[in-house]
Structure 1
Amino acid sequence: MTSLLSNYSSKIRPIKNQGGSLQMSIDLFLANINDISTTEQKMTTTGYLKVKWTDELLVWNSTTTGMYWMQFNQKDIWIPDVVVKNGLTAFKMMGGDFYYIYVYNDGAVYWYPYTVFETSCDLDVTHFPFDTQTCSVIIKSWSYSRWEVNFTIGSDKIDAGEKMGYSVTIFLTFAVFLTIVSAELPMNSDSTSILNVYLIIELAISIMGIIISSVQLRLNHRKPGKKIGEVFCKLVRAGRILRCEKSNVKGCFLKPCRGADNTKIDVIDCKSKMENYPQDDSVEEEEDEIEWSDVSSAIDFFSFWILLSVQIIVTVVIFSYAKSN
């Protein structure tokens, strides 16, 4: 570490061509939405950033050293002066001297600054309670232009863990709502309110959502080398067919589908496509490759439509019964 930092300056961008732009990817992971104030027009959230870039001056031979990564204190190496542009608290750089940054032997740098975001948010309650609000957390480098430091959105997506947290929130919402409604209903030991029955069914649907999210989370994080059962493979193939994706028939759709813009997708000429494929089994095996993330996605696809159908049927039946009586 000492030899790497001997001629290193934390005030200079870590690229050999100082006329070029340093490419950085950034992801925002929300841990909690603490508060949304309509009167103060602000949103308070807790979370952290995942900032990745390549430091061309911190590269070493992992074969000779036996070290593939090291941790550096934030103050010892160059980091971008990341700030929250639409923040409402003190304007300061994220991170701190107690932060340690992961640096790998190829120069890849990973920085995870954690903070509480208090950001401005224009809230329009004209259509409440059927309104949709969009709040932004604007992150930028204050001292560098995009020609010097260019931020791009990273590739990390929402995982099943966030879905499970959302499912638990919905469950607790219905539980609290059921408690409030039960307290306001007249006491009667001979009959049960239809509204109570409806809320109990909603609780059951929420519990099913939590169970499904738990299964998704477990399957999504299974080791890639673990064998996938035939049932899961059939589920993935069925989901691909229903979503108009290619199955393992070497580039041919099983039937015509329509895209998002309502344009017809014609059936691919299988005969002409087959002529372009090599006569071996390598292509078929490649196209038939299924990972555990595909299994999790297929379960999510089918669960969404099944629970949505149950939700619609239950709502229509119960409220139709209540209206008829």
Structure 2
Amino acid sequence: MLKLTMLISAVWLLNSGLLDLQGRGHLGVALVDAKTQEDLYKLMNFLFTTYKPEVRPTTAGEATYVYIGIYLLSIQNLDEKSQVLETSIIVDAEWVDDYLSWNASDYGGVTSFLYPQKKIWLPDIVIENSVESQKQLGYDENVVYVDTSGLVNWKPSQVIKTGCDIDVTYYPFDTQTCNIIVSTWMSTSDDIDIDPDQESNGLILDRYSVSGTWELISNDLENLPTEKGLTRIQFKIKLKRLRTFYILNIVLPVLFLSFTASMVFFLPADAGEKIGMGITVLLAYAVYLTIIADNMPQTSLQVSYLAVYLALLLGLTAMGVVLAVVVLHIHHKSEECRIGKRTKKVTRKLRTLLRINRRNAKCQGGSEEESAPKKNVMGKGVGTAGSNKKSMNSVSPLNGDVTFTPPPSYKESKEEITWPKVAETLDRVMFFITSLLIALTTLIFLPILAFGEP
């Protein structure tokens, strides 16, 4: 084992220029014994004197079978707007090179070695659905592993960008399915036949680093139909978006804003802030709608439920601003402008139904104890204007008890309807209607977003 390790190190240093032909490094220390070095040179001469990396390595003329596996290292980014998945991978490819086999006993027991990839035949494998210009996998200084049977193992690492069709329907509670398709560039199935690694059923996750945005919930592979004679295999990745960030930064702020949209109708007209408050909430919704639109692809194939929800809230808020203008116009109408009988009748009914008149009466008339007549210790009633006024107090002839008769001001009468009261009533009605519409919209769309994804 030690001998093999020293041999591999010697080949690597020899190619990098750190080892001279006498097996000595720059410090003059022998790294490989003379026998191993001679065997290695003899093997290199045997294998590569007439070797041509441009020629496909087969002696019988049959197709070269290349077995492919992919190690997924990390998910760098999934750009929803440009619909591009960026991943870091290692392609694990194996094939048999008939021109690189030898008998180990003839060469000092050398069973394997590492060699630069540019000096060995490589299959023209590409990432078919890459959104970048096609280029060779790996780099010239990358090495391949070769053993006595001619088995070549090539593991180029690369950051790739592949196209991914994004479905924004349930954003940000969505799952996405993306594919990595590996195929030959020009070689047909008669020359190179790509097959998936027999030991894996998808991406190899031994070295995978967890993403902070996406959760990998499943992966699979399949052989795709031959297209123009090219063999193709597809690695399918299913990703689920981690939701905590989006709940804290998008969903909850929008939910809190929805509670304030109807408060513009609860604000008194004399406060002078109705229009300002409505426009502020309207602009806040517009900002969040813009943020979501910037993160989504410009497509009409799917419609985001969150975008629809925000658009509806934006419409309700805009309607609230318009109605607030109408309410202010009614509130500031001149007293000389008469109010119609039907308007008065409807206003009185609504104010009674919404208990607006009773609230105003409590706020303006004081408590019941302050308005009730006082009694002396003998049970004689003491009126507010004197006990000798019959309009205020009367004495029962049987027992002398005082019976209090309310003055005219205590008798119930029809409330006088003015334009400010009409505006106040309209405000209160629109407050309840808008609050109901916002609540219904929220109860319909949020469960669909949270639980509607299949």
Which structure would you say has the larger Rg?
2
TM-score by length of 1: 0.49
